[in-house]
């Protein structure tokens, strides 16, 4: 069986993106919306997105799996209406990073 996909990659402002299926967020292994692009996601998608991310992380932890760099976790878009799903790509392992000490100062 062959499955074909059509993929179109766009770069731009997530607030201005229109009618897209997925938007990618560079995330951390704790799935915490913190600074930079993640903060833009938080502001655009609301606390609902963080709640969805927390729920997904709880489900993952319940299986015994530990997120690591390179993993990708999908969620719904929170309150955003211009995209269908957010893909959170793990780029920072919070247990091995100085980011862990700074994360609390980035949250709203």
Q: Is residue 15 in some structural domain? A: no
Q: The domain spanning residue 77 has which CATH number?
A: 3.40.220.10
What global pTM score does this model have? Answer: 0.79
Q: How many domains does one find in the chain?
A: 1
Do the domain assignments include residue 3? Answer: no
Whether residue 2 is contained in a domain is answered as no
Domain containing residue 41 = 20-106
Considering the domain boundaries, does residue 60 fall inside one?
yes
d(CA 83, CA 103): 26
Tens digits of pLDDT across the chain (108 residues):
787 777 777 777 767 778 888 888 989 999 999 888 888 889 999 999 999 999 999 999 999 999 999 999 999 999 999 999 999 999 988 887 654 444 445 554
CA-to-CA distance for 17 and 7, rounded, in angstroms?
16
Please report whether residue 10 resides in a domain: no
């Amino acid at each position: 069986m062959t499955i074909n996909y059509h993929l179109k990659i766009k770069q731009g402002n997530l607030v201005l993106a229109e009618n897209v299926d997925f938007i990618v967020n560079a995330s951390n292994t704790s799935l915490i919306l913190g600074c930079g692009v993640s903060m833009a996601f938080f502001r655009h998608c609301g606390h609902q997105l963080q709640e969805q991310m927390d729920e997904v992380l709880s489900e993952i932890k319940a299986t015994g799996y530990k997120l690591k760099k390179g993993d990708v976790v999908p969620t719904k878009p929170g309150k955003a209406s211009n995209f269908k799903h957010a893909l959170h790509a793990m780029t920072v392992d919070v247990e091995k990073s100085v980011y862990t000490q700074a994360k609390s100062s980035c949250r709203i």
